Chains A and B, each alone.
Chain A
Amino acid sequence: MVDAYRLRSPLDHLGLTARAQAEAEYSGTGVVLSEIAHLCLINIRGDASDPAFIAAVEKSIKLTPPTAPNTVAGKPSQSRIMWLGPDEWLVITKPGRGERAMAELWKNLKDGKLHAAVTDSSEARTCIRIEGPRAREVLAKGCPIDLHPSAFGPGQSAQCIVAKCGVMLVQTAQAKDTAGTYELYVLRSFATYLWTWLEDASQEFGVRVA
Chain B
Amino acid sequence: MTQSHRLYDGGRVDRSQPINFSFNGRRYTGYQGDTLASALLANGVMLVGRSFKYHRPRGIFSAGTEEPNALVQLERGPRTIANLLATRVPLYEGLDASSVNSWPSPNFDLMAINGLFHRLLPAGFYYKTFMWPVSGWKIYEHFIRRAAGLGRSPEEPDQDTYDKINAHADVVVVGAGPAGLAAARTAALSGARVILVDEQVELGGQLLSERFIIEGKPALEWVAEVEEELLANPNVTVLKHTTAFGYYDHNFICFLQNRADNVAFGAEGRTRQRVWRVRAKRVILATGAIERPLIYVDNDRPGCMLAGALRAYVNRYGVKPGTRHVIFTNNDDAYRTALDLKAAGADVACVIDIRPDPKGELVTRAHEAGIEVIENSAISGVLGSKRVKGVEVMALNEPGDSVTGRSRIVQCDTIGSSGGWNPVVHLHSHAGGKNVWRDSDGIFVPGETLQAEHTAGANHGNFSLQAALTDGIQAAQDAAKILGLKIKGKISAPAVGTDVIEEPWRLLWYIPTTAPTGQRGKHFLDPQNDVTAADVQLAAREGYRSVEHAKRYTTLGMATDQGKTGNIPGHAILASALGQTIPETGTTTFRPPYSPVTMGALAGRYVGEFFDPIRRTPMYEWHEQAGCLWEDVSQWKRPWYYPKDSESMRDAVNRECLAVRNNVGMLDATTLGKIDIQGPDAAEFLNRVYTNAWLKLAPGRCRYGLMLHEDGMVFDDGVTSCLGENHYLMTTTSGGAPNVLAWLEEWLQTEWPELKVYLTSVTEQYATLQLAGPNARALLSEFTSDIDLDNEAFPFMSWRDGTVGGIPARVFRISFTGEQSFEINVPASSGLSLWTDIMIAGEKYGITPFGTETMHVLRAEKGFIIVGQETDGTITPLDLGMNWIVSKAKPDFIGKRSLARADTARPDRKHLVGLRTIDPEVVLPEGAQLVAETRAKPPMDMIGHVTSSYYSAALGHSIALALVKNGRNRKGDTIYVPIDGTTTACEVVDPIFYDLEGERLNG
Which residue numbers of A lie inside 8 Å of B, CB to CB? Answer: 2-3, 6-10, 13, 38, 43, 45, 87, 115-125, 137, 140-141, 143-146, 148, 150-151, 163-165, 187-190, 192-194, 196-197, 200-201, 203-204
Question: Shortest distance in angstroms between B522's beta carbon and chain A's nearest beta carbon?
Answer: 50
Residues of A within 8 A of B606 (CB): 164
Contact B636–A196 (Cβ < 8 Å): no
Structural contact, B764 and A165, CB atoms closer than 8 A: no
Interface residues of B in 252-279 (CB under 8 A from A): 269-271, 277, 279
CB-nearest residue of chain A to B234: A178
Select the residue from B606, B758, B831 with max chain A CB neighbours within 10 A. Answer: B758
Residue of B nearest to A190 (CB): B613
B832 within 8 A of A: yes
- Distance in angstroms from B81 CB to nearest chain A CB is 22
How many Å lie between the Cα of A2 and that of B832 in the bound state?
A: 13
Q: Which A residues are in CB contact (< 8 Å) with B163? A: 141, 201
Q: What is the distance, in angstroms, from B254's C-beta to the closest C-beta of chain A?
A: 13
Ranked 6 nearest A-B pairs via Cβ: A117-B758, A189-B615, A124-B764, A117-B678, A6-B833, A146-B168
What CA separation (Å) do A25 and B614 show in the bound complex?
32
Inter-chain contact A193/B614, CB cutoff 8 Å: yes
Q: Is B117 an interface residue (CB 8 A)?
A: no
Interface segment out of the listed B460-468, B822-830, B874-882: B822-830
Chain B residues, CB < 8 A from A13:
620-621
The reply on B610 being an interface residue by CB < 8 A is yes
**Which residues of chain B from 675 to 700 have any CB-CB distance to chain A below 8 Å in the complex?**
676, 678-680
Within B315-368, the residues touching A (CB, 8 Å) are none
The reply to whether A7 and B758 contact each other, CB–CB distance below 8 Å, is no
Tell me if B612 is interfacial: C-beta within 8 Å of chain A.
yes
Q: Is B486 an interface residue (CB 8 A)?
A: no
Query: Which residues of B829-846 have CB atoms within 8 Å of chain A's CB atoms?
Result: 829-834
CA distance A74 to B806 in the complex (A): 34
11 pairs, A vs B, C-beta closer than 8 Å: A2-B807, A6-B807, A117-B758, A122-B765, A123-B764, A144-B277, A145-B166, A189-B617, A190-B615, A193-B610, A201-B163
CB neighbours (8 Å) of A38 from chain B are 829
Determine if B764 and A189 form an interchain contact, defined as CB atoms under 8 angstroms apart: yes
Please tell me if the beta carbons of A192 and B616 are within 8 angstroms of each other in the complex.
Answer: yes
Q: Confirm or deny: B4 has a beta carbon within 8 angstroms of a beta carbon on chain A.
A: no
Cross-chain contact of B764 among A117, A151, A187 (Cβ < 8 A): A187
CB-CB under 8 A for A124 and B193, given A115-B756, A141-B164, A201-B163: no
Cβ of B618 under 8 Å from chain A? yes
A197 to B614, CA, bound (A): 11
Measured between alpha carbons, how far is A118 from B807 in the docked complex, in Å?
A: 21
Of the candidates A117, A121, A140, A164, the one having the most CB atoms from chain B within 10 angstroms of its own CB is A117
Residue B763 interfacial (CB < 8 Å): yes
Q: Residues 754-784 of chain B: 1 if any A CB is under 8 Å from the residue's CB, otherwise 0?
A: 0010101111111000000000000000000
**Alpha-carbon gap, A7 to B680, bound state (A):** 35
* A200 lies within 8 A of B605 (CB): yes
**Residue ID in chain A nearest B252 by CB atoms:** A144
B-side contacts of A189, CB under 8 Å: 615-617, 636, 764
Contact A43 B165 (CB under 8 A): no
Contact B828 A124 (CB under 8 A): yes
Partner of A123, one of B616, B756, B828, B832: B828
Q: Given A164-B613, A189-B636, A193-B614, are A204 and B764 also a contact pair (CB < 8 Å)?
A: no
| Complex Cα spacing A125 to B621, Å | 18
Q: CA of A150 to CA of B269 in the docked complex: distance in angstroms?
A: 31
Inter-chain CA distance A38–B830, complex, in Å, is 11
Taking a contact as CB atoms under 8 Å apart, the answer to whether B806 and A2 are in contact is yes
B167 at interface, CB cutoff 8 A = yes
A194 contacts across to B, CB distance below 8 A:
613
For residue B997, which residues in chain A have a CB less than 8 angstroms away from its CB?
A: none
User: Contact between B168 and A115 (Cβ–Cβ < 8 Å)?
Assistant: no
B165 neighbours in A (Cβ, 8 Å): 137, 140-141
Instruction: State how many angstroms separate the Cβ of A139 from the closest Cβ of chain B.
Output: 9
- Known contacts A117-B676, A140-B166, A203-B269: does B610 contact A45 (CB below 8 Å)? no
Compute how far the CA of A120 lies from the CA of B58 in the bound complex, rounded to whole angstroms: 71
Q: Point out the residues of chain B lying under 8 angstroms from A87, CB to CB.
A: 758
What separation, in Å, do the CA atoms of A151 and B832 have in the docked complex?
41
A120 touches B765 (CB 8 A): yes
Distance of A87 Cα from B749 Cα, bound (Å): 12
B270 nearest in chain A by CB position:
A204
Is the C-beta of B609 less than 8 angstroms from some C-beta in chain A? Answer: yes
Are A192 and B614 touching (Cβ within 8 A)? yes
CB-CB nearest in chain A for B163: A141
